[in-house]
Amino acid sequence: MANFSERIKALRRGQGMTQAALGKIIGVKQDSIYTYEKGLNYPEVRNLITLADYFGVSIDYLVGRTDNPEINK
């Protein structure tokens, strides 16, 4: 399974989005997105939720606990 840094980078690139644009969406600087993608830092819970909502995936998928991006309700 992929880890968080790989997932966030792949999702961002899949949308053709820059790190700065993603940062603006979740309210952090581009440097924060860079550190997430390098595995140097992790987002706060509220930003993790915003990322999952924006990309339409589950938090478990984002953090690498499952390979299924579907949100099970």
pLDDT at 70: 81
| Residue in 43, 7, 6 with CA at minimum distance from that of residue 25 | 43
pLDDT at 51: 96
pLDDT at 71: 75
One digit per residue, pLDDT tens: the chain, 73 residues? Answer: 689 999 999 999 999 999 999 999 999 999 999 999 999 999 999 999 999 999 999 999 999 998 888 877 5
pLDDT at 69: 85
Number of C-beta neighbours around residue 52 at 10 A? 19
What predicted TM-score, i.e. pTM, was given to this entire model? 0.89
| Residue in 50, 53, 33 with CA at minimum distance from that of residue 41 | 33
